[in-house]
Every structure is written in structure tokens, then in C-alpha cells.
Amino acid sequence: MKKFAFNLLVVFALTSFVLSACGSAATEAPAATEAPAATEAPAATEAPAATEAPAAGGDFEGEVAIVAWAGYIENGSTDPAYDWVTAFEKQTSCKVTVKTAATSDEMVTLMNQGGYDLVTASGDASNRLIAGGKVQEIDLSRIPSWSNVDARLQDAPWHTVDGKHYGVPYQWGPNVLMYNTEVFPEAPTSWDVTFTEMNLPDGATNAGRVQAFDGPIYIADAALYLKYHNPELGIDNPYDLTQEQFDAVVALLTEQRALINRYWHDAFVQMDDFKNEGVVASGSWPFQVNLLAFEGAPISSSFPVEGVTGWADSTMMHVDAPHPNCAYAWMEWSLNPKLQGDLAAWFGSVPAVPAACSGNELLTDAGCAGNGFDQFDTIWFWRTPTAACSTGAGNCIPYSQWVDAYIGIISQ
């Protein structure tokens, strides 16, 4: 990780330019019902130096068009040390083109429009794409490396419906509480510091010094907070909310509005806010925490007692993918341990292939643990809320109402 941070720091100006030009690396994720039951992951093995692209079951079409989060498909132009595109293109003659999306809603819109082969979808997008018939079932016989995928992800509900797989796991991670260590000499143990007006350890109020995520899925974070502090509400799953529970969550977020400095979705803007705008606490991703800490900023992170949400992204194929053979070749390529480890080092995420956790120079053998590998079972992964609820009970508030409510809150 240190080498990753050093390389990234050297090209920080270029990175900022590229990412700002392409869009933010917002990451929304999975359709889990509860934090998944503990499952032993496959044993990690040493990551190979290189992996050959597989045969795709037919002639390559010369291109694969991918909708992706910023930083997910690197070709070495930002930093030569991070390149998992060039070798693939040489071995397959499939030119990789990338359309960067800033939000899950944008990903859904682009896939609805068509013309793309693949999307690195998070759970709140993936389930909408499956329900809308915009992505196709994956033929696992064309993904030889499927058996190397973390067992905890293979049948995950954000890409598996009725036993059918509609995606190949790519990366995952938690939404942690990032904080300023000069303001918090001891790690904050509760999300209270972002939801309740109070004086922080430095004696100053938290009003105007905290942030919240700029997306309706953040309602789940508030629901998780109330699940812990207001058990009388009966919240079990933060994505399955009755009207009464939903109203209580909206009320909490409405009160929180007075404290918010910014609703963030751009990772680099959030980092600048922590460095220059007096922000001292917010939900964030390991990417921002790792980079800020390496730069010498007084930044760390914690997993509060209420728990955390998180994201797990899957590569999904459009139902009318124009280049299906190149798309299958890329999905297989995406599971090689070298790519998985390099991407995890770059983004601060966790590989979908445990073998990537060992022997990768950029990630280091400590990288997976540092990025949250052992926290999987404590994370409530993002998913698309539905009226049917994850249980089929049929009395939950659907995502469309989450969108309407959150727009109303942040617009105040």
C-alpha cells in the first residue's frame, strides 16, 4: 500500500485531472438482505505475475465497451504501475473503451440506453438492471476462474436471482467513519458525531464540520443508526423499512441537514474538504482515508458500534451486448489475482479473489486486512429497496420514494 500511495502521490495532479474529467469514483453497492452469514473464504495463494486472457468461445469482435466507476479500469495513463488493460488488449485484440459514471443512477441510465457491453454495477444498480431485463445471465462455463472467487461473493444476492448469476464479482469495501485525529484524539465509536448536534473533543460544535453521502442509499445508514439507538422502531434490515420506520429515518436526516457541510459524491472533493474546509468527520471509503493519511493529513477511520453499510461491485453484461466474446474475455481477465490486487491497492478496496491478498507488491500482504477483508460479515451491503421487501412481506418503502425523500432533504 505504501508503494501504491507513493506512486499515486507522484502523479496526484494528473490523477485529479483525469478523475475530475471522467467523473467521481462514487461507489454504491449490493442487494443484500442482511449482513451475509459467515462463510470461510478460499485460502489465499501467491498472486501470479501475469495471466493470459482466455478463449472467449468465439471470434473476438475487436472491442469491449465498459461503463465503470472512475479508477476501476486503468490502462497505465494515470500511473504506469497500474495497468490491467494493455496486456488484455494485446492478447485479445479487444480494445477497451470506458464510459465513466459518477453514480449508480447514471449507470442504470446508460445501460438502459444501450450500446455498452459491461457495467461495474453496485447493488442498488445491479438489482434494478436485473429486474429491468437490461443484463443477461452469465454463462459460468465461460468464466474458468469463477472457482477462485471469494465464496462469500459467489451467490451474493446483488448479482444472483433465482439461482441465476447476472454478474461477476469485481471489488468490495465498507463505508467507514473517516475522522480528523487532531479533533478526535481517540477514535469516535458512534455515528453520533455526524447525526446529533454536539461539541466535539476540541470544544467546537460539529455543525458545518460533518458530511453525508450524496445519494438516496444513504438513508440506509440513518436506518442502521436508528436500528441501534431506537430498537422500539423494530428495524431489522436497513433496506426493508415500513412507513413508520421510514418516516423516523427521514426525520433524523432532516434534523441532520443543519449539521452538513456538504453532501459528497466526489472522493477528491471530499479529501479537499477535510484538508482545507474544516470538515472533521464523515462516512467515507478506504480510498480517501488511505491517501489522506499517506499525504500526512491527520486522518484515520473507525467502524462505529451501530455498524456500517458497504458496496460490492459486479461486472454485468448488457442483454444486447454488441461484443459478447470480448466481454466474456474481459470478465475472465478481471478475476486474475494480479489485476485484483493492483486494483485493490489503487482504490483501497478488497479483491473478489482472495489469492490477490498474497504476493502482490502494490497491495502488500497486509493490504486486504487493512482494506476490510475480515469485516465482510459486519457490513450491510447496499441494495435496491423494494416494496416487496427482501422477505416478500410486501409492506416496505420502494427506492423511488427513497429518491423523492432524499432530494427533499438535501434541497432544504
Q: Are residues 189 and 322 in the same domain?
A: no
- Model confidence band, residue 18 (pLDDT cutoffs 50, 70, 90): very low
Pairing relation of β-strands 164-165 and 299-302?
unpaired
Average pLDDT over residues 216-227: 97
- Give Cα 256 to chain centroid, integer Å: 24
Q: State pLDDT tens for residues 285-306.
A: 888 888 899 899 999 999 999 9
Q: State pLDDT tens for residues 28-47.
A: 333 333 333 333 333 333 33
Phi-psi region of 257 (alpha: psi -120 to 50; beta: other; left: phi over 0): alpha
DSSP summary character for residue 95: E
Q: Are residues 322 and 301 in the same domain?
A: no
Average pLDDT over residues 223-241: 98
pLDDT attached to residue 370: 85
By the 8 A CB rule, do 23 and 70 touch?
Answer: yes
At 110, which CATH number? 3.40.190.10
* pLDDT of residue 22 exceeding 70: no
By the 8 A CB rule, do 186 and 256 touch?
Answer: no
pLDDT attached to residue 54: 52
Q: Are residues 397 and 258 in the same domain?
A: yes
Q: Are residues 16 and 159 in the same domain?
A: yes
Burial class (CB in 10 A: 0-12, 13-18, 19+), 168: buried
Q: Are residues 148 and 284 in the same domain?
A: no
Q: Are residues 69 and 164 in the same domain?
A: yes
Hey, what amino acid is at 213? F
Place of cell 450524496: 214
Q: Are residues 168 and 254 in the same domain?
A: no
- Model confidence band, residue 391 (pLDDT cutoffs 50, 70, 90): confident
Q: Are residues 131 and 231 in the same domain?
A: no
CA dist., res. 207 & res. 313, Å (int): 33
By the 8 A CB rule, do 153 and 312 touch?
Answer: yes
CA dist., res. 331 & res. 118, Å (int): 9
| DSSP per-residue codes, 16-50 | HHHHHHH----------SSSPPP-PPPPP-BPPS-
Q: Are residues 24 and 147 in the same domain?
A: yes
* pLDDT of residue 172 exceeding 60: yes
pLDDT attached to residue 58: 56
323 lies in which domain range? 2-173+312-377
Phi then psi for residue 401, to 5 deg, are: -75, -30
Q: Are residues 248 and 360 in the same domain?
A: no
- Model confidence band, residue 26 (pLDDT cutoffs 50, 70, 90): very low
Q: How many residues does the chain have?
A: 412
DSSP percent split of the chain into helix, strand, coil, nearest 5: 40, 20, 40
Q: Are residues 274 and 185 in the same domain?
A: yes
Q: Are residues 163 and 193 in the same domain?
A: no
Count of domains forming the chain: 2
